[in-house]
Structure 1
Amino acid sequence: MTPIRRLLPDPGHPLDDEALRACYAYERPTLRMNFVSSADGAATVGGRSGPLGGPGDKRIFDLLRAGCDALLVGANTVRTEHYDALRPDPEWRTANGLTAYPLMAILSRSLNLDPDQAIFTDAPRPPIVFTAEGAGRFPAELVTVGDLAQVTDELNRRGAEHILCEGGPSLFGQLIAADLVDELCLTISPWLAGGEPGRIATGPPAEAREMSLRHLLTDGDQLFLRYARKQVLVDKPVDNH
């Protein structure tokens, strides 16, 4: 197990899985973003985010997936990152009052998706695809939406109060512009990527919103930050786990 430690608040010993889950515990219905970035702000290396990760990032990535009700991603992320079927620790989930598998939700206006990709063919729980009206046919449940608020409303209606979004950057930017982002979990990797990799959020102009740092964790030279809306901290005192 990679030795992730807490730097802020209350620096301490390496965190076991239970303590690490407590660091990322949901406090209310939440749309949470999870991203990785190089130290100089690149969202990808060689066109993919995977090379920026590491053992600690993978451990947190898996725990965040295991604790969510729904995983929301854009179609380009599904294609680029070669998404597999979603199976995050079903035994732990059912033991903790969750469905065995989270709901997989994909946003795609054009339905430019491969129906033979394992995310569809090997899925233990059928994914849903949010798309524009008249986009066509696809061998998965299609839900027509007009904006991102309708996406989150529909997921909430289906019982998904805790939504984890893994991007990509265009979807993140749109969610910021729509003021739907409650949290950002950000891994900063000790790499200088240079070149022209984009930011973790791109899209339409948006009002700048100040967030509050909930914690800072570390695994060697890699940092893990959790930011939340400031009003969440005002509404409820912070649990320093």
Structure 2
Amino acid sequence: MRSVWPSSTGELTGVDLEEIYAYPADLTGPWVQVNFVASADGAVEVDTTSAGLSHAADREVFLLGRDLADVILVGAGTARAEDYRGVVAGAKRLERRRRLGFDGVPPIAVVTRTADLDPASRLFTKTVVPPIVITTETAETGPLEAAGAEILRAGDTDVDVPRALDLLAARGLRRIACEGGPRLFAQLVAADRVDQLCLTVAPLLVAGTADRIATGAAPAVPRRLALASILVEDGFTLLRYRRAAG
């Protein structure tokens, strides 16, 4: 993988990538990075999952995003479709996180209006850190609590996303890596709570009826981003955008 903008370089090292994708220092509130891969014609999935669009370079940045985060945020639909499990506490990951000042691995936080999650799924049974379920005041969460989940309630009948982010930050989980899906991303856009977008464009044409990376209510005006970096490998383009100043 190499950088082509803002500077052109040779092969990037793991340390180079850590510096490129690092979160801002001394955060006092939630800071949200969203990670997506899409085809050249805008599809967010092939046969219902993102795996058919991915590449080793995209996977490396995706995993780095987890290593740099305090918490992984994901919508319930994506968690079910991708059969989410807890972040794996591998030796390489733990060494990197210790070196960067983290303790252990980040929890998965699932946003769900109804708390309709299977307590026997890998999200609850294949994890070293209990998941966080962000839901509403009216959702029935007894089975998920019995499976070990921490429950955060943000909103009466629908999840109040800004409130959810603030609840995570209040627990010291300020570096938030959102891994989708499109509806959760749209909610973050509408609430103007996206600080960084990491978008990998796969050199594929998919067509069909696949979603785009954000699907849902539009903001009153489009949110302005500033291009921060462009990396390339094997025809895949890894774009990084940050919230535009002002």
- TM > 0.5 fold call: yes
Following superposition, the deviation at residue 91 of structure 1 comes to 2.0
Alignment partner, residue 18 of structure 1: 15
Map residues 28-107 of structure 1 onto 2, 5 A cutoff.
28=25, 29=27, 30-87=31-88, 89-107=93-111
1:85: Cα distance to partner? Answer: 1.9
Matches within 5 A, 1:109-148: 109-136=113-140, 137=142, 138=144, 139=147, 140-146=149-155, 147-148=160-161
Cα deviation, residue 26, structure 1: 1.1
Aligned equivalents of 1:45 and 1:198: distance in 2? 10
How far apart, in 1, do the equivalents of 2:81 and 2:231 lie?
28
Give the match for residue 2 of structure 2.
5
- Counterpart code for 1:196: T
Tell me, yes or no, if structure 1 residue 191 matches structure 2 residue 200: no
Counterpart-to-counterpart distance in 2, 1:51 and 1:131: 30
Q: Report the Cα offset of residue 68 of structure 1.
A: 0.5
Q: Secondary structure at the match of 1:188?
A: strand
1:103 Cα deviation after fit: 2.5
Deviation sequence 1:126-182 (CA, Å, 0-9, x none): 111011112112232211111111111011111111100011000000110011111
* Other-structure match for 1:156: 169
Aligned 8 A contact 1:32 1:165 in 2 = yes
Q: Do residues 168 (structure 1) and 164 (structure 2) align?
A: no
1:193 shift after superposition? 0.4
- Distance across 1 between alignment mates of 2:124 and 2:175: 22
Equivalenced residue count is: 229
Query: CA contact under 8 A between 1:86 and 1:119: conserved in structure 2?
Result: no
| Alignment correspondent of 1:239 | none
Identity among equivalent positions (%) equals: 40
- How many angstroms does 1:35 deviate by? 0.2
CA deviation profile, 1:30-79 (whole Å, cap 9, x unmatched): 20000000000011111111110011111111111111111000111110
User: What letter corresponds to residue 66 of structure 2 in structure 1?
Assistant: R
Kindly state the Cα deviation for residue 120 of structure 1 after the two structures are TM-superposed.
Answer: 1.1
Aligned mates of 1:196, 1:127 — CA distance in 2 = 31
Deviation at 1:122, TM superposition (A): 2.2
| 8 Å CA contact 2:86, 2:131 repeated in 1 | no
Amino acid at match of 1:145: A
Unmatched runs of 5 consecutive residues or more in structure 1: 235-241
- Please, what TM-score do these two structures have when normalized by structure 2? 0.90
Single out whichever of 86-95 and 174-183 deviates more from structure 2: 86-95
* Cα pair 2:161 2:191 within 8 Å, conserved: yes
Asked if 1 retains the 8 angstrom alpha-carbon contact of 2:86 and 2:107, the reply is: no
Cα distance in 2 for residues equivalent to 1:170 and 1:25:
26
Deviant stretches of 4+, over 6 Å:
none
Preserved contact between residue 91 and residue 100 of structure 1 (Cα < 8 Å) = no
Q: Name 1:237's counterpart in structure 2.
A: none
